[in-house]
A = this chain, B = another copy of it.
Amino acid sequence: MTERREAVLAAVLALLVEKGAAALTMTAVARSASCSKETLYKWFGDRDGLLTETVRWQASKVRAGAYDRQHLDAGALRESLEGFAANWLSVISSETSVALNRVAIGQAETLGGIVLANGRFAIGERLKGLLLDARNARLVAFDDAEEAFRTFFGLVGRDIQIRLLLGDRFTIDGAAIADDARRAVQQFLALYGATKTPAQAG
């Protein structure tokens, strides 16, 4: 991935965020990236290839949220879960993510799988690892890690992503994300925590 290539993809992303998918014409990309259309086609094949490359590139930047596998006690678990939750919330509420998910949904056949693999399923695998470790440490109890993760996913994301995708003006700043993450983890541990925590939440 050369630097010039990344500049082009960054231009695609910027256009997507600012003007929406409809305005993302090859001409607009070429002008915005100060490159010729011929170069775009030589590098990316066609419009679909350019979009695919952009989605992949952005997805590769989102990777984050590994947790510390050492000494997993209740506090470390909570902290790791909150880290996952806050990171995930900041991703899905970012303008970039919203714009990219919009185009991926518009071309679910070709792009949806990429976004799913790098988003929902990537975080699922990482989080399930944490959950299984936590279960081994008798910190949580569940039968099915996948189901436990899906509940966590729901408690964290709630209605945020669909509202943003559907155009609801909706700003959520860092403090709100931190609060949301804490609440979601609190609720998750109330449901799955092996140590009895008060069921009251919200």
Assembly CA distance A165 to B111 (angstroms): 11
Chain B residue contacts of A120, Cβ below 8 A: 159, 162-163, 166
What is the interface of chain A mostly: helix, strand, loop, or mixed?
Answer: helix
Check A108 against B141 for contact (C-beta < 8 Å). Answer: no
Assembly CA distance A151 to B188 (angstroms): 11
Number of contacting residues on A, CB 8 A? 47
Check B108 against A166 for contact (C-beta < 8 Å). Answer: yes
Assembly CA distance A187 to B155 (angstroms): 11
Q: Which of A128-147 contact B (CB under 8 A)?
A: 141-144, 147
Which residue from B101, B116, B143 sits with its C-beta under 8 Å from A202? B143
A200 CB-CB contact with B under 8 Å = yes
Instruction: Point out residues on A near B: beta carbons under 8 Å.
Output: 20-21, 101-102, 104-106, 108-109, 112-113, 115-116, 120, 141-144, 147-148, 150-151, 153-159, 161-163, 165-168, 187, 190-193, 196-197, 199-202
